[in-house]
Each structure stands twice: as structure tokens, then as C-alpha cells.
Amino acid sequence: MQARHEKYLLELTGLPTATGREGRVVDWIERWTRRRRSVELHRDRYGNLMLKRVGSRSRKPIVFTAHMDHPAFVVVEQIDSKQVLAEFRGGVQDRYFVGSRVRLRLGGAESRPGRVLRLDAPVKPRLDKRAVIGFARPVTANAGDVITWDLAPPKIVRGLLSAPACDDLAGLAAAIAAFEVLLKAAPRPGAADVRVLLTRAEEVGFIGAIGACKSGIIPKAARLIALETSKSFADSPIGAGPIVRVGDRTASFDPGLTYCVGQVAQRIEQRDPGFNWQRKLMPGGTCEATAYQALGYTATCLCLPLGNYHNMNDGTPMVFAGAKRSGRSKAVARARPCKAKIDAEVISLSDYHALVRLLIEAGKTLDHKAHLPPLRRQLDTLFARRRGLLADTSL
Ligand SMILES: [Zn+2]
């Protein structure tokens, strides 16, 4: 099973994708769906995708969500046979552009190497910066073609995945891997109706997620678990486990749902002390859970700590977690002296597998009241047991 989940991870994190140009990821999902009779694929008017078990009708499903885009260039027009004007969609600092190697993605696996020659700031009414890309040999590019950074295909070395686009295709791979396992499990009492929502255009302000809230593709009472990769910090190291993200730079998430997901993680850890997970507020960016919450849904987030966020390797060492010993994780800093450059994004494979495991367990038990009493009931039980302590009021 793990080999299959790694195959999904390796395939997806290497797909060229860009905000508004997520077609290759959509193709992958369509192929995956076609091979499974038990899955329905729905599409809203904005091109967001919803996967569900055939015939599922719950008004209160659990929805794993991930986005299909990654920061990249989109061709505006060809300037001459060896130069192309392209828009950059996503958050990458200006200093990473000029001189960096890129690849113009044509049909199939075909591509042409190029280099960023110039970068222009956005001029109103345009919202995105534009770059002139130069090619050594003549190319034919069409408006809308994707240009990605020129990075090696995804590879796994010593338990770490280095890939062009972990954000958010690793989250998407985890959602699909867990959904697939849950589809095979016979529906049991307490098992949730789990669906997968895949959104477009997250990197410029979760436009697809906002559209999904408006299009009616998400049942109003759904509980959304947004899956992300999120910039790792010293106190949220790579390899210390998936993160129950209580909030982001902008907002904090639904306390009830976040609590329940944390309880699921804690139950796995009680059974298997080798299971690592973290509970953090990740302030490195704003994620779709904030949009879902603001638009009236119940949402929380699970994320994977990410190195070289948005392909920006600024030369500061990534922080990795050592093996868990006596219940405490030991952070180990590995020095990687280099200057700022475009680089592969990095996640830990064990974090990925633990995220899939957490999602599977969440799907199986989140609606199981006996397994997961809400916090309020736990407090009431505690009060009933200990209220005697308050009997003496003569203080
Ligand atoms: Zn991102």
C-alpha cells in the first residue's frame, strides 16, 4: 500500500501545473477516476473537482481538500522566435527570477529549456509580474502554455522527497491515497461520508476555493479538512510528523473540528508510540481553510512541513527532526551553505505516510461519537466527577 501511495506522490509532484492552467493534474485525476467504478467525479462551473463514493448522499460529509496549482509562469505572447512574454502566478520573491532556468511545457512530455531574462513588476490593472523568457533555439509557444522552473523530476533520497511541486500536489496525493483506502473499506456505523475537493487557482488568493463556496459543490454542513504543505520552521521541523494546523497567518480554524482531528491523531499515537504528529499554528502563509471558514463553512487544516517553500532556497538550513526518543522529538539542523536559488521543494516521506494514515483514521472515526466524544461532553463528565471539590464555599 505504501509503495502505491509513493507512486502517486512521485507522479503528481512532477506534473507541470500553474494557476488557471491545472489541466495536467485534472487529466491525472480523470484517469484515476476512470479506473474506479465506485467513484463519481463532479465538476463545478469554475472547474473545481469533487470526488465522491457512488451514491453517497450525506449532507454532512468530511471533505479532504487540496489545490491543483503551483507557482509558475503562463505564456502571454511570443515576442520573437527565441523570446516569450510570460506572467508569473504565485508568490516568489523577485530576486529568484533573472538568470534562473525554466522549461516551456509543450504537449505530452515535450519541453524546451530557457532562462529568465527580465522581470517587470505588475502595472495596473495587471495583478501579476511578467517576465521575458529567452530560449537558445527557436520555440513556438501559445498563450496559456505553462512554463515551470527547470528542476529535476521528483526523487526520494534517505526518506526525503525532493520535487518541483510538493505544494500542493503532495497534499493532493495524500487525499487520493486516503480516499482510495476508505473506498475499499466496507461502510460501517460511524464511518464518515468522505469526499475529495480539488480546487484551482489557490496560489493567487484561493480563487478556486472561493468559487467552490459559491458554486454549490460543497454541501453547506460539510466539514472541510484542507491539506497543505506549509513552510517549515524550527519548531515545526520536517520529519516530526504531519501538523494539525490550528491556524495560519490570517485566521484560526474551527476549534471543534480541529480538536476532533487532534483527538484522532492522539488515539493513533496511543496505539503506536512511533506515530509522530504536531499541533501548530503555521504562520508562513494563508490557506484555503481560512477562505472556507470566512465563507461560512466548518474547516480546519492538516499540513506537511515543507522545505524550500515555493522553490525558494534562501540558503538557511532546513530543520529536520530526529527519531522520536522517550516521547520527545530531537531537532537536528543540517547546514546547507548556499546562496539564494530556485530549488526543489522538500518534504519527509514519513510525514506523508503519517498524514495518509491520519486521514484514513479520521474518515473511519470522526463521526464515531463513542470513540470521539466532543470536548463539551468530556468537560461535563470531568465536572460531574470532580464537582465535590467545590462543595466548600465558606472560603
Ligand atoms: Zn503555495
Q: State pLDDT tens for residues 104-158.
A: 999 888 999 999 999 999 888 888 999 999 999 999 999 999 999 999 999 999 9
- Whole-number Å distance, alpha carbon 165 to ligand 1 midpoint, is 9
What's the 5 CA to ligand 1 centre distance in angstroms?
22
Q: In which band, very low, low, confident or very high, does the pLDDT at 187 lie, cut at 50, 70 and 90? A: low
Burial 107-134 (b: 16+ CB within 10 A, else e): eeeebbebebeebeeeeeeeebbbbbbb
Distance CA 6, CA 330 (A): 26
| Three-class DSSP labels, 35-57 | CCCCEEEEECCCCCEEEEECCCC
Kindly give the distance from the C-alpha atom of residue 363 to the centroid of ligand 1, in angstroms, as a whole number: 25
Q: Measured in angstroms, how far is the CA atom of residue 311 from the centroid of ligand 1?
A: 10
> Residue 364 Cα, ligand 1 centroid: separation in angstroms?
29
What is the mean predicted confidence (pLDDT) over 295-318?
95
Tens digit of each residue's pLDDT (9 = 90 or more) over 17-68: 999 999 999 999 999 999 999 999 999 999 999 999 998 888 999 999 999 9
Taking the centre of ligand 1 as the mean of its atom positions, its distance from the CA of residue 168, in whole angstroms, is: 7
Q: How far is the CA of 190 from the centre of ligand 1 (A)?
A: 34
Mean pLDDT of 271-278: 96
- If you measure from the C-alpha of residue 310 to the centroid of ligand 1, how many angstroms do you get, rounded to a whole number? 6
Could you tell me what percent of the chain has a pLDDT over 90?
A: 81
Q: Separation of 70 CA from ligand 1 center, angstroms? A: 6
Q: Which CATH architecture has domain 72-149?
A: Beta Barrel (2.40)
Q: Which cell numbers in the block locate residue 40?
A: 463519481
The pLDDT of residue 324 is: 43
| HEC assignment per residue over 308-361 | CHHHEECCCCCEEECCCECCECCEEECCCCCCCEECCEEEEHHHHHHHHHHHHH
pLDDT for res 109: 86
Is the pLDDT confidence value at 233 over 80?
A: yes
Compute the distance from residue 393 Cα to the ligand 1 centre, in Å. 55
Give the Å distance between the CA of 313 and the centre of ligand 1: 15
**pLDDT at res. 316:** 86
Ligand 1 centroid – CA 203 distance (Å): 5
pLDDT tens digits, 331-384:
444 544 567 899 999 999 999 999 999 999 999 988 876 666 778 888 999 999
* The CATH number, out of the four listed (3.40.630.10, 3.40.50.620, 3.30.70.270, 1.10.357.10), of the domain defined by the range 2-70+153-377: 3.40.630.10
pLDDT of residue 337: 52
What residue ranges do the domains of the chain occupy? Answer: 2-70+153-377, 72-149
At residue 372, the pLDDT reads: 67
What pLDDT, on a 0 to 100 scale, did the predictor assign at position 331?
45
CA of 323 to the centre of ligand 1 (A): 28
> In this predicted model, what pLDDT tens digit does every residue of 200-212 receive, in sequence order?
999 999 999 999 9
- pLDDT for the residue numbered 237: 94
CA of 167 to the centre of ligand 1 (A): 5
Tell me how far the alpha carbon of residue 169 lies from the centroid of ligand 1, in angstroms: 10
Indicate whether 326 pLDDT > 90.
no
Report how far ligand 1's centroid is from the alpha carbon of 232 (Å).
13
pLDDT (0 to 100) of residue 226: 98
Distance from the alpha carbon of residue 69 to the mean position of ligand 1, in angstroms:
8
Whether pLDDT at 84 is above 60: yes
Per cent of the chain over pLDDT 70 is 93
Place of cell 468530511: 62
What's the CA-to-centroid distance between 152 and ligand 1, angstroms?
19
pLDDT at 275: 97
pLDDT-based confidence at 330, cuts 50/70/90? very low
Peptide bond into 168 cis (omega under 30): yes
Taking the centre of ligand 1 as the mean of its atom positions, its distance from the CA of residue 220, in whole angstroms, is 26
Strands in 49-53's sheet, in edge-to-edge order, are 39-43, 49-53, 194-199, 62-67, 223-231, 298-306, 243-247, 278-281
CA 184 / ligand 1 centre spacing (Å): 31
Nearest residue to 312 via CA among 21, 91, 132, 129: 91
Q: How many CB atoms lie within 10 A of CB 274?
A: 9
**Is-contact 158 349, C-beta < 8 A?**
no
Q: 182: CA distance to ligand 1 center in Å?
A: 27
User: How far is it between the farthest Cα atoms of the chain?
Assistant: 90
How many angstroms does the Cα of residue 266 sit away from the middle of ligand 1?
28
Residue type, 145: D
Q: Kindly report the pTM of this predicted structure.
A: 0.92
pLDDT at 28: 98
CA distance 343 to 162: 9
